[in-house]
Amino acid sequence: MRLEILPVPGIGHVTEGDDLAALIGTAAPWLRDGDVLVVTSKIISKAEGRLVDVPADGPERDAARDEVLAAESVRVVASRGNTRIVQTRHGFVMASAGIDASNVDKTRLVLLPTDPDASARTLRAGLHQRYGVNVAVIVSDTMGRPWRNGLTDVALGVAGMDAIRDHRGEVDPYGNELVLTQMAVVDELAAAGELIKGKCDQMPVAVIRGYLGAPPAGDGEGATVLVRDASMDLFSLGTAEAKAAGFTAAATLPDRPGDAAPDPALVDRAIATVADVVAPGTLFTPVRDDDVRTGLVATIPGWPTRASALVLCSPPTPVGPVQLVRFGADVQRLRTALAAHGVPSQLLPPPAHTAAAAALAL
């Protein structure tokens, strides 16, 4: 058994309206059933007319590019300086929504194909119809990834094979069941195709021969199965963006008790977190009672406290209006630190209808 990675030279410049099946089939009359074609998304975009006109340079170009980027994105995942990592309308998370200014006139930008799976199906069908070959087609593009330098090619679309090879449930020779192993083989095939495309000038198509054991039985479900839903992803937002989201959530912290008594260790940790930033003399005293619901009582010395409190808070003495405002800010710091540990809290006033509350009311 061996695999071959073959270049398809002679495709030349592709322009809007070109019949890619004819261009590829003419350039590679040697295609066989079961070959996997890896096709650079850019020539598909060009053939499909996915280009926009922009100024060649200057701030007008930047503005036009920003506008195109916004139109191609459903959300910004992370940004720094000029870098924008966005989720595209397909669901892919990539820099600049895959918009590319290379290998095209200076006054045009190339967008990703609208539906790369459909593009793959169309090309696969065209090759079958014109040349009678039954191949799989992968639409590839270049992506970076967190934590690693350098780019690799991955699959945006596929027709004629499954995107994932699933080893789950298989048992290794030691009797261990494989529980996690789902290989994104179309990404690996796209990467393999890039090895030869990248070595040659203007080589938008590569063929992997020998990978498929048999000619495709159908189109398959496409590459959209590779898109992980943001809610399932541990990195759905950039670190800076998520930190800012944490700040915003802290600013709008809900003011309500939790459903159960919190872990006392977490409460202690929250108190320790703010110990050095609150006014000297401020006291935060956790109430240990398994029955209490999460809450906070902001007290001043001598005020009655509530049995349902989680943390009794007392300002330093003597206490005047200035100190009370600062005390309120410090209690909010504590509530924020509790929230950082997942502990909800409520700012409770001293109980109404008590003599102390009445006496101190201004």
User: Which run of H or E residues covers position 296?
Assistant: strand 296-298
71 near a second copy (CB under 8 A)? no
**Contact set for a second copy, span 15-44 (CB under 8 A):** none
Least separation in angstroms between CB 91 and a second copy: 9
**Contact set for a second copy, span 303-332 (CB under 8 A):** 318-322, 324-332
- Interacting span for a second copy (CB under 8 A) from 21-29, 46-54, 125-133, 181-189: 181-189
Least separation in angstroms between CB 312 and a second copy: 13
Sign of CA dihedral 115, 120, 126, 129: negative
Rank residues 11 and 185 by Cβ distance to a second copy and give the closer one. 185
Sign of CA dihedral 206, 212, 217, 220: negative
- Interacting span for a second copy (CB under 8 A) from 14-22, 63-71, 121-129, 167-175: 167-175
Q: Letter for the amino acid at 310?
A: L
The secondary structure of residue 317, as a DSSP letter, is S
CA distance linking residue 342 with residue 345, whole number of Å? 10
146 near a second copy (CB under 8 A)? yes
Phi, psi for 136 (deg, rounded to 5): -100, 150
74 near a second copy (CB under 8 A)? no
347 near a second copy (CB under 8 A)? yes
Rank residues 261 and 319 by Cβ distance to a second copy and give the closer one. 319
Letters for 264-303 (x = contact with a second copy by CB under 8 A, - = none) are: ------x--xx-xx--------------------x-x---
CA distance linking residue 49 with residue 34, whole number of Å? 29
**Contact set for a second copy, span 198-237 (CB under 8 A):** 198-202, 208, 211, 225-228, 233-237
Least separation in angstroms between CB 284 and a second copy: 12
> Which of 39, 333, 345, 346 touches a second copy (CB under 8 A)?
333
User: What is the distance, to the nearest Å, from the Cα of residue 17 to the centroid of all Cα atoms in its chain?
Assistant: 34
Rank residues 174 and 265 by Cβ distance to a second copy and give the closer one. 174
Residues that contact a second copy, how many (by CB under 8 A): 125
- Interacting span for a second copy (CB under 8 A) from 112-120, 214-222, 239-247, 280-288: 239-247
User: What is the rounded (10 degree) CA torsion for 209, 163, 144, 196?
Assistant: 10
CA distance linking residue 118 with residue 124, whole number of Å? 10
Which residue, among 51, 13, 2, 31, has the nearest Cα to 203 in the 3D structure? 13
189 near a second copy (CB under 8 A)? yes
For residues 317-349, one letter each, b for 16 or more C-beta atoms within 10 angstroms of the residue's C-beta and e for the rest, the string is: eeeeeebeebbeebbbbbbbbbbeeebbbbbbe
242 near a second copy (CB under 8 A)? yes
**Contact set for a second copy, span 75-134 (CB under 8 A):** 78-80, 83, 85, 87, 92-93, 101-106
- Interacting span for a second copy (CB under 8 A) from 46-54, 66-74, 131-139, 180-188: 180-188
Beta-strand pair 296-298/311-314: parallel
* 116: preceding bond cis by omega (within 30 degrees): no
Rank residues 118 and 339 by Cβ distance to a second copy and give the closer one. 339
